Amino acid sequence: MSHTAHIPSHRKPRRSASKMALRAGVAGGVLSTIAVAGAAAPAHAEPVHETVEMPTLTTPVAHSATTTAAAVTASAEATQALAFEYDREARQQAAATDAMKDAKQALAEADRKAEAEKKAEQARKKAEEKAEQERASRSSARTDLSSYSGSSSAKGTNASASSSSSPSTASSSQATGSAASVIAFARAQVGDAYVMGSTGPNAWDCSGLMQAAFRTIGVDLPRVSQGQSTAGTQVGLDNLQPGDILYWGAAGSAYHVGVYVGGGNFVGAQNSSTGVVERPLSYDPPTGAVRVL
């Protein structure tokens, strides 16, 4: 056996003559048919035109699109209307808040004005009451001064009797005219109480007594001791006359005053322990004196 007998051959198998004849016949028939058809056709054939119609949308589809558009439009309009309503309510609420704030401020301002008017009215009433009291006090003082002038002789006689051991009885005859009236008024108050700031009729301080005594003759002295110590002409203590004002302390800054009644005595509202008294100059020697009569 050949050593290549087991390897298959790569050569193509030969076709049989009958198959080849059959294929040739078929091919020839086809070509003949094509040739016949080409001969039978016109020389210039017209192209065939065919119209293709596209399908149109049916009525339900168009109606659905219209409905959707209308729904979208209605939704947008509703949203816009709702936003407008919210904006309107917000504006109304802001306006109400501002109005309430303005009302509170106006009420507070009205309350402040009312309180101020109330205080002003109270102050006015107090001022009127004080003025009325002062008028009543002045009227009472004038009445009391008149009664004191009428009764000073009797009260002065009692005061002289109570101090008969002093030379005041003899000195009373030395005062004449206006000085006698001043001394009579001062002696009429002997025994009254001393109260700082009082001007009568039953309590006095030193300058209040002097002012009231000299007012009986139309002389209006300053209210306090400092002013009364410079109200007239300065005189020496060795040249005193009844009716001279005595003062303790320096002229212009005196702290106490009294009136010289003659005979070496003076009358004054001394202090809260003694009240209004008549005493000799040696009891409390004065610093100086002024003459206003």
Give the ranges where 163-236 is alpha helix by DSSP (H): 168-172, 177-188, 206-215, 225-228
Confirm whether 55 is domain-assigned: no
Question: How many other β-carbons are positioned within 10 Å of the β-carbon of residue 116?
Answer: 10
Contacts of 221 (CB under 8 A, 6+ apart): 207, 210, 211, 214, 215, 227, 228, 231, 245, 292
Across the range 143-153, mean pLDDT stands at: 46
Confirm whether 5 is domain-assigned: no
Across the range 33-61, mean pLDDT stands at: 52
Question: How many other β-carbons are positioned within 10 Å of the β-carbon of residue 113?
Answer: 10
How much is the pLDDT for 151?
A: 45
Residue 286: cis peptide before it, omega within 30 degrees of 0: no
What's the number of domains the chain is made of? 1
**8 A C-beta contact, residue 241 and residue 279:** no
Confirm whether 197 is domain-assigned: yes
Q: What is the Cα gyration radius of the chain? A: 71
Render pLDDT for 97-114 as a digit per residue (tens, 0 to 9). Answer: 888 888 888 888 888 888
Confirm whether 146 is domain-assigned: yes
Residue range of the domain that includes 247: 82-293
| 210 Ramachandran zone, left/alpha/beta (phi>0; psi -120 to 50) | alpha
Confirm whether 152 is domain-assigned: yes
Contacts of 241 (CB under 8 A, 6+ apart): 179, 235, 260, 262, 291
Across the range 260-277, mean pLDDT stands at: 96
How much is the pLDDT for 113?
A: 83
Structure tokens that stand for 137 in this block: 């006090």
Contacts of 134 (CB under 8 A, 6+ apart): none
Give the ranges where 50-176 is alpha helix by DSSP (H): 59-162, 168-172
Q: Among the ranges 119-123, 160-164, 190-194, which has the highest mean pLDDT value?
A: 190-194
Question: How many other β-carbons are positioned within 10 Å of the β-carbon of residue 236?
Answer: 8
- Does position 224 have pLDDT exceeding 50, yes or no? yes
Strand pairing category for 288-291 and 233-235: antiparallel
Q: Residue 211 — very low, low, confident or very high, per pLDDT cuts 50/70/90?
A: very high
Across the range 220-231, mean pLDDT stands at: 96
- Does position 196 have pLDDT exceeding 50, yes or no? yes
Q: What is the mean pLDDT of the chain?
A: 76
Contacts of 222 (CB under 8 A, 6+ apart): 207, 211, 228, 231
How much is the pLDDT for 165?
A: 36
Decide which of 192 and 120 is more confident.
Answer: 192
Decide which of 16 and 287 is more confident.
Answer: 287
Across the range 170-174, mean pLDDT stands at: 46
Across the range 252-258, mean pLDDT stands at: 97
- Does position 259 have pLDDT exceeding 60, yes or no? yes
Model confidence, pTM: 0.45
Confirm whether 140 is domain-assigned: yes
- Does position 245 have pLDDT exceeding 70, yes or no? yes
- Does position 23 have pLDDT exceeding 90, yes or no? no
Confirm whether 193 is domain-assigned: yes
**What CATH number corresponds to the domain at position 119?**
3.90.1720.10
Confirm whether 76 is domain-assigned: no
